[in-house]
Structure formats: structure tokens, C-alpha cells
Amino acid sequence: MNIALIAHDKKKDALVSFAQENFDLLNKHQLYATGTTGGRVIDETGLNVTRCKSGPLGGDQEIGALVANGEINAIFFFRDPLTAQPHEPDVSALLRLSDVYDVPLATNEGTAAAVLLLIDKLDRE
């Protein structure tokens, strides 16, 4: 499966920790990420990640294009709900595309863990 990893600045540590804790499961899949998040995941976990641009520079839209083209199967987007984001329209567009194309979207660690468990179950079937 193709999984997108995205995190707002204040949530990058949480996403990196999630990737470290779930290395074995994530390592079985093709990972895509926005620029800074992808760089941190690569540096701190050793996972193979295809990096897009940074979110504010069009990375959210790049991931959205992958979703629209059927190339992403799940999105883990650790969002910071307490900080205004200058690229909020891009974020909203990505969330809308996940709904339009029925792509599971986890916006926090608990939901990401549940989605990853489902992905692992489907892999074993």
C-alpha cells in the first residue's frame, strides 16, 4: 500500500515517534511525505520515504494529486488544531479529496494506530 505521512510543525515529533514505534509495519509499504516531515522520518527512522515539497510550498497539493490519481491508500496527517496554518486552504483541499476518493485519513495518533492495524490485517489476508 501507499501511505502518505504529513505533520504540522508542532506534531512532527509525534509523527516521528509513531513511525519509530511502527517501523516494522510501515517498512512494508511505500511511504510518501511532505518535505520536512519526510526528511525527519528518514533521518530519525531510516524508513524509505518519497518526499514531496514542504506542505506550505505545495506538498499538501502534491499528496492531493496522488490521492486523486488513486496512488495513495491511506493518509496519516498529524494536524495541530490549536495553531492557525497559513496554507489552511491546501489542508482543507486534501481533507476533501480523502473524502471524495474514500481514502482513510488519520489526523491523530490514536486513529493512525487503528488504520495501521487494519492495513496490517489486510496485508495478512
Residue 39 in marked binding region: no
What residues are labeled active site? 60
Residue 117 to residue 40: CA distance in whole angstroms: 23
Residues in contact with 124: Cβ distance below 8 Å, sequence separation at least 6, in sequence order: none
Q: What is the CA radius of gyration of the chain?
A: 13
* 3-state secondary structure (DSSP) of residue 8: coil
Residues in contact with 24: Cβ distance below 8 Å, sequence separation at least 6, in sequence order: none
Residue 50 in marked binding region: no
Residue 20 to residue 45: CA distance in whole angstroms: 6
Residue 120 to residue 54: CA distance in whole angstroms: 28
Grid coordinates of 84: 492557525
Residue 87 in marked binding region: yes
Residue 29 in marked binding region: no
Residue 53 in marked binding region: no
Residue 36 in marked binding region: yes
Binding residues for substrate: 8, 12, 34-37, 54-55, 87
Binding residues: 8, 12, 34-37, 54-55, 87
